Amino acid sequence: MTRVLLLGGGPDAERQVSLNSAQSVAAALRSSGRWQVIEHTIEQHLSGDQLAALPGEVIFPILHGPWGEGGPLQDLLEADGRPYVSSGPVAARMAMDKIATKILAAGLGIPTAPSAVLNLADDVCPIGLPAVIKPVHEGSSVGLHICLDHTSWALAIASSRENHARVPNRVLMVERHIRGRELTVGMLDGSPLPIIEIQPAQGVYDYEAKYTREDTRYVINPELPSGVAERIARHSTLLARGLGVRHLARVDYLLDGAGVAWMLEINTLPGFTSHSLLPQAARAVGLTMPDLCTRLIELALRDAPRR
Strands 58-61 and 2-9: parallel
Whichever domain contains 57, its CATH number is 3.40.50.20
The reported pLDDT for the residue numbered 16 is 92
> Can you give the residue range of the structural domain that contains 152?
115-176
- Do 248 and 122 share a structural domain? no
**Alpha carbon of residue 281 to chain centroid:** 15
In the predicted model, is pLDDT for residue 236 greater than 90?
Answer: yes
Active site residues: 14, 140, 211, 250, 252, 265, 267, 271
Whether 226 is in a domain gets the answer yes
Give the other-Cβ count within 10 Å of 194's Cβ: 17
Contacts of 118 (CB under 8 A, 6+ apart): 126, 133, 160, 172, 173, 174
- Do 195 and 154 share a structural domain? no
Say how many domains are in the chain: 3
- Do 284 and 198 share a structural domain? yes
Kindly list the distances between the CA atom of residue 15 and the CA atoms of 11, 20, 51, 285, in Å, as whole numbers in the listed order: 6, 9, 19, 29
- Do 183 and 123 share a structural domain? no
The string of pLDDT tens digits covering residues 56-76 is 999 999 999 999 999 999 999
Whether 147 is in a domain gets the answer yes
- Do 258 and 127 share a structural domain? no
The string of pLDDT tens digits covering residues 186-219 is 999 999 999 999 998 766 655 555 555 667 899 9
- Do 255 and 132 share a structural domain? no
Whichever domain contains 255, its CATH number is 3.30.470.20
- Do 99 and 188 share a structural domain? yes
- Do 125 and 47 share a structural domain? no
Kindly list the distances between the CA atom of residue 96 and the CA atoms of 52, 182, 206, in Å, as whole numbers in the listed order: 25, 20, 18
- Do 131 and 263 share a structural domain? no
Kindly list the distances between the CA atom of residue 79 and the CA atoms of 9, 53, 103, 160, in Å, as whole numbers in the listed order: 20, 13, 29, 36
- Do 209 and 151 share a structural domain? no
Specify the long-range contacts of residues 156-163, CB closer than 8 Å, at least 24 apart: 157/120, 157/123, 157/133, 160/118, 160/120, 160/133, 161/120
- Do 248 and 205 share a structural domain? yes
3-state SS assignment for residue 266 = strand
3-state SS assignment for residue 222 = coil
Query: 245 and 192 in contact (C-beta within 8 Å)?
Result: no
The reported pLDDT for the residue numbered 122 is 85
The reported pLDDT for the residue numbered 167 is 82
- Do 207 and 103 share a structural domain? yes
State the DSSP H helix or E strand holding residue 92, giving kind and residue range, or none if neither.
helix 89-96
